[in-house]
Structures are given as C-alpha cells and as structure tokens.
Amino acid sequence: MNEWILLLIAAIFGSVISLAGGVYLLYGKWGVDRLQRVSVPFAAGALLAAAFVDLLPEAMEGSDTHVISLVVLTSFLVFFLLERSLSWFHHHHEHEHANPRYRRNSSLIVIGDTLHNFIDGLAIGASFLVSPVTGIITTIAITAHEIPQEIGDFGLLLAKGMKKRNVVLANLLSALATVVGAVLVYALGGSVPISEPILLAITAGFFIYIAASDIIPTIHAEPKRRTANIQAAVLLLGVLFVGVTTTLAHDMIGGHEHDATEQHTH
C-alpha cells in the first residue's frame, strides 16, 4: 500500500477512534468513572511500551546513543516547561473540576485540545518517516492516550453548557489537527533534511513525559487499594499489548518491505 495512503488512514482512523470515549460519555450507559479507571492506565502502558520497545530502539540503531539519550531528556524537560507555562497544553481534568480558578471557557478548551492533537500528528508523521510499522505503533499509542483525554474534554464542554451535537462537532474538527500535523511533517520530510532518529527520540521523550507525569501519578493517588492494583495490572496489559503488537507488526510489515526490496533489486 502507498505510504501516503497508509499515513492518512492511520491518522484519520486514530483521530476518530480517540473520540470514542467522549461519544460514550454522551450516549453510553456504563459508568464513565469506571471507563476512565481502565482506559487511563492502559494508555500509560501503551505510551511506555511504544517509547521503550519501538521508538528508542529505532532511534538508537546506527546512532550515537548518548546523543539520543540527551534528546529524550531534553524533550522530556521541554514538554514539562510547556505544560508549566501553558496551562491549556495538557489538561488536568480532576483539578479543573475541583477548583473553579482552573476552569477555562469553551473556546480555550477547544484550542488547547487542537494544539495537543496537532502535536500528536507531528509525532505520527515523524514516525511514518522512519517506517510504516513505526508509524502504526505510534498511532496506536497516541490513540490509547487520547481516548481518556477526550472523555475529559467532552465532560468539560458539556459542563460549560454546550449542546451534545456541538460538542461532537467541535471535537471532531479539533481531531483533524492530528491529520494536518502528520501530513505536514511527512511532506516536509521528503524535501527537508530531517534527522529521523532525533524525531523519534523527541517523540519518545513526549510519550515518557505524558505517562510518567500525568497518568501514573493518578494511579498512585487512587485511595482504594483494590482499584489501584487493578489499574496497575491494566497498565501492564497496555505494555504487553503494544509490545506484542510492535513485534508482530515488525515481523509482518517489515517482512513485506524486505521482500519488496529484494524484488526491486532483482
């Protein structure tokens, strides 16, 4: 399949699937709190596995490991500083509901979500520059993270009095920023000399930061020991799922790419 088509399919599909949690919030019957308690730790596991099992090994292959490690650390710190300086870059939904001074108007919620989705798209596009399988694994990890985040976004917009139809439309348009970001990076990658290992290292730092600073602390903060243990198990399930998916995807897609290369050579 043409890599451009695969990129568009992955970015669009990931964007739509990421809205599933929010749509469920509007029309579902299973408790949203229960849904978030499962989806949030799964997302953390998915992000960590994508970073350590796929992105970092790809980035370090044939590269200076010290440089890659430094880029990961720098990326982690940059996203930390961005979050500290831009309160709407990454949402702390529990605090926003608990304290009125954290609440933003609807337009800022949508703008913040759009920026976040655009950055997700940059990560997807950068990963597709390396290989389709790396792009797919990155898309899976980002989608797993976006599902619980969109639940919070939908809830905040509903709390602001926005109609259900408008909530869905606003988040759908915001999700398209992921596609724009992915296409932009992928298009520039063909004409501008971009270091693929550096891009992967930046993405890995981004994933590690989100999981370590925003998601895992919510598991530690869970007052019920049984629930926290379940969440820890779900986190490990997320690691296992993406780890196995990564291995299988590399074997399947990587094998096809190797065969295609050999046929082209002959």
Residues 88-138: tens digit of each pLDDT: 444 444 444 444 433 445 676 677 678 778 888 888 988 888 888 888 888
> Cβ-count burial of 215 within 10 angstroms (0-12 exposed, 13-18 middle, 19+ buried)?
buried
* Cβ proximity of 170 and 111 under 8 Å: no
pTM of the entire predicted model: 0.68
pLDDT above 80 (res 260) = no
Rounded CA-CA distance 117/257 in Å is 29
pLDDT above 80 (res 29) = no
Least confident of 59-68, 97-106, 240-249: 97-106
CB neighbour list of residue 189: distance below 8 Å, 6 or more residues apart: 125, 126, 129, 196
pLDDT of residue 17: 86
Rounded CA-CA distance 155/104 in Å is 13
Mean pLDDT of the region 195-213:
84
Highest mean pLDDT among 1-5, 76-80, 242-246: 76-80
pLDDT of residue 163: 83
Least confident of 122-136, 204-218, 243-257: 243-257
